[in-house]
Amino acid sequence: EVQLVQSGAEVKKPGESLRISCQGSGYRFTSNLISWVRQMPGKGLEWMGRIDPTDSETNYSPSFQGHVTMSVDKSQNTAYLQWTSLKASDTAIYYCARVGLRNWFDPWGQGTLVTVSS
């Protein structure tokens, strides 16, 4: 079974750094891109960007360029999303998704809730 398992919920203070993870299993990790999607409380889905696990090439949405960093560790079949200085407005659920058949998102990870509050 193809699965993406994300790291657990985080509570951070403004200005702190954070890295969350997304581990793939049930398929060859380097065969598919990984995308990240943000969902702010009670809101819709926002595509953040994507990373190619083969060579770590990234494309970021203009809305997120410079605010987050995507990376991978091929040896661990894991993708990461990182912030160097969190803001309260980063409070959201973050999903990773495999870019699969015909470049659509399938499946998705279960989501990681990030709460940033002083």
The residue ranges that bind another protein (CB under 8 A) are 35, 37, 44-47, 50, 59, 61-62, 95, 97, 101-111
Measured from the CB atom, the residue of 25 and 103 that comes closer to another protein is 103
Kindly give the pairing relationship between strand 10-12 and strand 112-116: parallel
Measured from the CB atom, the residue of 3 and 84 that comes closer to another protein is 3
CA distance 20 to 15: 16
**Cβ-contact 11, 31 below 8 angstroms:** no
Sequence-ordered list of residues with C-beta below 8 angstroms from that of 88, at least 6 positions apart, any chain? 14, 116, 117, 118
Q: How far is the CB of 28 from another protein (least distance, A)?
A: 18
Measured from the CB atom, the residue of 50 and 92 that comes closer to another protein is 50
Q: How far is the CB of 16 from another protein (least distance, A)?
A: 26
